[in-house]
Structure 1
Amino acid sequence: MAKKLLLVDLDCGVDDAQALMMALAAPNVQILGITCTHGNTKIENVCKNVLRVLKVCQRTEIPVFRGEGNSLLGSQLNADHYHGEDGLGDAPDPSAPGLEHIQAEHAVNALIRIANEQAGQVSLVATGPLTNVALAFKMDPTFPSKLRHLYIMGGNMESRGNVTMCSEFNFAADPEAAYIVLNHFACPTYIATWEYCLRQALPWGFFTEWVNQGTEKACFMKKISAYTERFSKGKQGSKEMYFGPGFLCCDSFAMAAAIDECAVTEYIRYGVSVELQGSVTRGMMIVDTLNQLKKENQAFIMTKCDIEKVKQLMMSALK
């Protein structure tokens, strides 16, 4: 059976590392390139973090490309409160690969080139702000038509936010980029929203089993996840709780859908866009249930998941 060809665009924090390791372990997947964007941490850290993940997974042959370090409007939003200042739980590795291993080609150029080389065959999984993806369209308007599928972790379907009242982090970090992607990409688009991920929260007992498998990969995950684990459990024990009970691995849900379409058991399909002007709602994903946008290309918004299948993919990632 031919392998699924993937491009991965990410802002490598702990959850991106989890998703990437899942894809690296999947026998039916071939990753053609990894493009780095700003988001959970600054772009230099994102690049270093991807290289660390590839090293522990013994997959350093996969090319890594540096992309945009700011949003389209030049702003930055980070999540060091959740992922640590370096994006991987402030658990450095003195022997980690350096930035000299990053490809000279810019991430946006690499996205366009690889999509052209594998037209109609490669799917893009985007688990960070959509800056690189939007710029690929602006540089080459045919880029979306070359993709087989687009999988996004981002946005929301019930106006529930996690960095502002009404917006999810990845969309809030670059609302204009999210707007461009949702309004100009004609390829089948699948979205794992913030609320979808919240509903799939895993028991902390599973997390403990997952990171204590005793392998090099599991030890790495346990080390980089400790910071996030403390933060999450602290929030859940306070009045500030907004993550809900359980362990969240948001980016893994978008990646699981790309690896195995059976990981998602139910979708709703609507036209979607992004609010850019609202004083409280900027960055919020708009779900057009009334079809007022008259969109031909409606997104597949994930609503139900085969959680056992996702657990299996996660366990396999750390073996």
Structure 2
Amino acid sequence: MTLHFLIDCDPGIDDALALTYAFAHPQVAVEGLVATGGNVSTEQVGRNVRGLLDLLGGQGTPWTLGAENPLAQPLTTTEETHGPLGTGYGLLPGQKEPTGRAYGEGAALWIETARHFPGKLHGLILGPSTNLALALRRDPELPQYLASLTIMGGALNHRGNTMPTTEWNVHSDPEGLHEVLAAYSHPGLDLPYAPLLCPLDTTEQAVMTPQLRERLLAGGGELFTALDGALQFYMEFHEWDKLGFIAHVHDPFVTALAVNRALAANGQPHIPLGEGTPVTLDVELAGTLTRGQVVADWLGRWGRDPNAQALTSALAPEFFEHFIQTVRAAYAPKGYA
């Protein structure tokens, strides 16, 4: 069977790996990509999406530039983590050439794609939630047209990776995720799924080592050379951040998780990669020290029904085996297993 996905992303090094997996998976059809500003500017994200599509053979995939800025604050970017162009030392085709596209089309792509595949589209957010929030403002019925929604973001019972309690995607646009969670909080909303939030608590268990990197990218070629340069920069950053010469590959893990959960929901063979727990989630918007923190009401103190699931376990070794096999089956140079 074919799984229809819309991916909202901000490549970004781990986003580039995630898109590589999505296009490599034989049962995934990427029906649209939204370029959301986060790791680098929205325009640069769009250039990177275009370049990745060229290397991945996805030139016909619809993609749009999202909003130029978050909902309620200036855009901040993280070139120290992902490099000035967003892919570290890796280079993509046309990466410095303007897209020529207008800002603000991401919300429309969310709505159009969901309504084109009613009940069959799996939404995946790998960056800030800005453009889904804007889509929900325009079309409050949008959740009813999705088959699932998976979001990489937040730090629940875990230190942040940006401020002490915040994860980058939510830190970049706290109001965005707040509005998405609010859309799933209406009393009487009856959906066959709940949004799955994948926080740092679990995604940081997906640790790319030099040995795994070598297995993934052996053989070279234009795509693998670009990804290798990106990972070199990313590992140098993690080493600078006193985490060792490794890379936390949040987005590829979350993408593989979303794909395999979708396969499971359709009764198809799949690889279990983690489990979620129902919980009520919200985002702190006003705290002087904690703005952007995702708060989980584990004990039900708010008296509100769960509006999401939080990923509470991750099987990293199984993920890496699956990820490497999937990517290499599609993109390894001839003569390399």
Relative to the length of structure 1, the TM-score reads 0.90
Q: Which of 276, 282, 288 is matched with 1:279 structurally?
A: 288
Structure 1 residues 1-319: aligned runs within 5 Å: 2-93=1-92, 95=94, 98-100=97-99, 106-185=105-184, 187-235=193-241, 241=242, 243=243, 246-261=246-261, 262-315=271-324, 316-318=326-328, 319=332
Per the TM alignment, residue 128 of structure 1 is displaced from its structure 2 partner at its CA by: 0.4
**Percent identity between the two aligned chains:** 26
Contact 2:277 2:311 in 1 (8 A): yes
Inter-partner Cα distance in structure 2 for 1:168 and 1:105: 24
Q: Residues 159 and 166 of structure 1 are in contact (CA less than 8 Å); yes or no, is this contact kept in structure 2?
A: yes
Q: Measured at CA, do residues 273 and 191 of structure 1 come closer, stay the same or move farther in structure 2, by a change above 3 Å?
A: same
Corresponding pairs, count: 312
> C-alpha deviations, 1:259-306, integer Å up to 9, x for none?
112342332221111111111111111111111334434422112223
Q: 1:182 to 1:17 in 2, by over 3 A?
A: same
CA distance in structure 1 between the aligned counterparts of 2:22 and 2:86, rounded to whole angstroms: 19
1:245 and 1:98 map into 2 onto residues whose CA distance is 32
Cα distance, 1:217 vs structure 2: 2.6
Q: Secondary structure at the residue paired with 1:279?
A: coil
Q: CA deviation at 1:214?
A: 2.8
The one-letter amino acid paired with 1:218 is F
Rounded Cα–Cα distance in structure 1 between residues aligned with 2:119 and 2:167: 30
Shift in Å, 1:228? 1.3
The 1-side partners of 2:292 and 2:73 are apart by 15
Instruction: Quote how far apart the aligned CAs of 1:94 are.
Output: 6.0
How has the CA–CA distance of structure 1 residues 104 and 171 changed in structure 2, closer, same or farther, with 3 Å as cutoff? closer
- Quote the Cα distance in structure 2 between the aligned partners of 1:49 and 1:116: 27
Measured in 1, the distance between the counterparts of 2:80 and 2:154 equals 20
2-side partners of 1:24 and 1:89: how far apart?
A: 21
SS of 2:247's partner is coil
> Counterpart of 1:265 in 2: which secondary structure?
coil
RMSD (Å) for aligned C-alpha atoms: 2.2
Q: Kindly tell me: are residues 247 and 91 of structure 1, through their superposed partners in 2, closer, same or farther at Cα, counting changes over 3 Å?
A: closer
Q: Answer yes or no: is the 8 Å Cα contact 2:273–2:319 preserved in 1.
A: no
Partner of residue 238, structure 1: none
Rounded Cα–Cα distance in structure 2 between residues aligned with 1:201 and 1:228:
12
Matching residue's letter, 1:40: N
Q: What is the CA deviation profile of residues 39-90 of structure 1, one whole-angstrom value per residue up to 9, with x for unaligned ones?
A: 0000111001011111111111101111012110141121100000111115
- 8 Å contact from structure 2 (residues 88, 233) kept in 1: yes
Q: Specify the code of the residue in structure 1 equivalent to 2:7.
A: V
Q: Which moved more, 1:119-128 or 1:302-311?
A: 302-311
Cα 1:178/1:94, change in 2 over 3 Å: closer
Distance in 2 (CA, whole Å) between partners of 1:257 and 1:146 is 21
Checking the alignment, whether the CA contact within 8 Å between 1:36 and 1:66 is kept in structure 2 is yes
Letter in 1 for 2:60: E
CA distance in 2, matches of 1:100, 1:172: 26
**2:225 counterpart letter in structure 1:** C
After TM superposition, which residue ranges in structure 1, 4 or more long, deviate above 6 angstroms?
Answer: none
Deviates more, 1:102-111 or 1:118-127: 102-111
Distance 1:160 1:123 in 2: 29
Q: 1:215 to 1:306 in 2, by over 3 A?
A: farther
Give the match's secondary structure for 2:282.
Answer: strand
**Local SS of the residue matching 1:260:** helix
Structure 1 unaligned spans of 5+: 236-240
Residues 143 and 244 (structure 1), Cα distance of their counterparts in 2 relative to 1, 3 Å cut: farther
Distance 1:192 1:104, change over 3 A: closer
Is the Cα–Cα contact under 8 Å of residues 67 and 104 in structure 2 kept in the other structure? no
Aligned residue for 2:291, secondary structure, equals coil
CA distance in 2, matches of 1:244, 1:74: 33
Does structure 2 conserve the Cα–Cα contact (< 8 Å) formed by 1:154 and 1:191? yes
Relative distance call for 1:57 and 1:4 in structure 2 (3 A) is: same
